[in-house]
Amino acid sequence: MVKENILKFKELLPQHVNLVAVSKTQPANAVSEAYQTGHRVFGENKVQELVAKYNELPKDIQWHLIGHLQTNKVKYIAPFISLIHSVDSLKLLQEINKQAAKNNRVIDCLLQLYIANEETKFGLSYEEADLLLSSEEFKQLKNIRIVGLMGMATNTTNAAQIRNEFHSLKNFFNMIRSLNLTRGTENVELKILSMGMSSDYQIAIEEGSNMIRVGSIIFGERNYAN
Ligand SMILES: *Cc1c(COP(=O)(O)O)cnc(C)c1O
């Protein structure tokens, strides 16, 4: 099932849109099935589960962390993580930078923006993100690179609202990108706009997403809320 699902799903995706197959709560063998189709990019939202799957599965998988990250857990993923979607503070970024340096690497990150009309979602406001990117402390971080932005829309059936939220993030992305061209900050290279999941990826793509994070369409419904 997983093989058919992912092949069919990818066939319909525009070429410029990258798929992160979200394997949270799924067993390693479900990831293997998707892997056998040639897919290499997988997303997890919990550090412990991510590390367990990293240890068990082939080493050419590109693992993305898509869930909230606590500073004291950065060290567990720093040796291998391919992209962190959920950076929401300078303090966290400083810790990622420190652990990346220890591992002699540069870790790619996205800033997570708060775009939803909900209390429960993590992320920076547009103003906070702008302040972070223009701060002196940020410019000193040589072992991280901000390669884009991530946002989650409100969990609603109101398509117009979802579209508005994605649209505003895309506008902010464009603005920050042109600002940064003039600022010339070396650790920023905005190219990824991560928005859209199973329920709203089509709207997200229409609004300019080039990276979607999709779980249930590929792996089936999860057994418990996560
Ligand atoms: C679980 C999750 C997804 C994928 O959700 P689906 O509805 O299964 O596609 C995407 N992004 C984040 C941050 C998630 O936690």
Phi/psi for 201 (5° steps) reads: -65, -30
Using the 8-state DSSP alphabet, how is residue 90 labeled? H
pLDDT in tens, 88-135: 999 999 999 999 999 999 999 999 999 998 876 689 999 999 999 999
Q: What is the pLDDT of residues 39-58, one digit of tens each?
A: 999 999 999 999 999 999 99
| Three-class secondary structure assignment of 7-18 | HHHHHCCCCCCE
Beta carbons within 8 Å of 32's beta carbon, 6+ residues apart: 57
Distances (CA, A) of 102 to 93, 142, 186: 14, 12, 20
Q: Which atom of ligand 1 is nearest to 24's Cα?
A: 1
pLDDT for position 76:
98
Assigned token pair, 131: 């302040």
What is the pLDDT, as a whole number, of residue 210?
98
SS (H, E, C) 124-169: ECHHHHHHHHHCHHHHCCCCEEEEEEEECCCCCCCHHHHHHHHHHH
* 2-219, CATH topology level: TIM Barrel (3.20.20)
Residue the block writes with tokens 């609603």: 156
E strand map for the chain = 18-22, 41-44, 62-65, 83-87, 107-113, 144-151, 188-195, 211-214
- The pLDDT confidence band at residue 220, using thresholds 50, 70 and 90, is very high
Q: Is 195 in the pocket of ligand 1 (CB under 6 A)?
A: no
Query: For the stretch 77-105, what's the b/e string if a residue is b when 16 or more beta carbons lie within 10 angstroms of its beta carbon?
Result: bbebbbbbbbbbbbebbbbbbbbbbeeee
| Single pTM value for the model | 0.96
Dist. CA 155 → ligand 1 center (Å): 11
pLDDT above 70 for 224: no
Question: Angle at the Cα of 111 (from 108 to 112), degrees rounded to 5?
Answer: 130
Residue 159 has pLDDT above 70, yes or no: yes
Q: How confident is the model at residue 225 (pLDDT cuts 50, 70, 90)?
A: low
* Candidate of 6, 18, 24 to mutate for ligand 1, largest count of ligand atoms within 8 Å of Cβ: 24
**pLDDT attached to residue 184:** 73
Domain map of the chain by residue range? 2-219
Stretch 64-90: mean pLDDT: 98
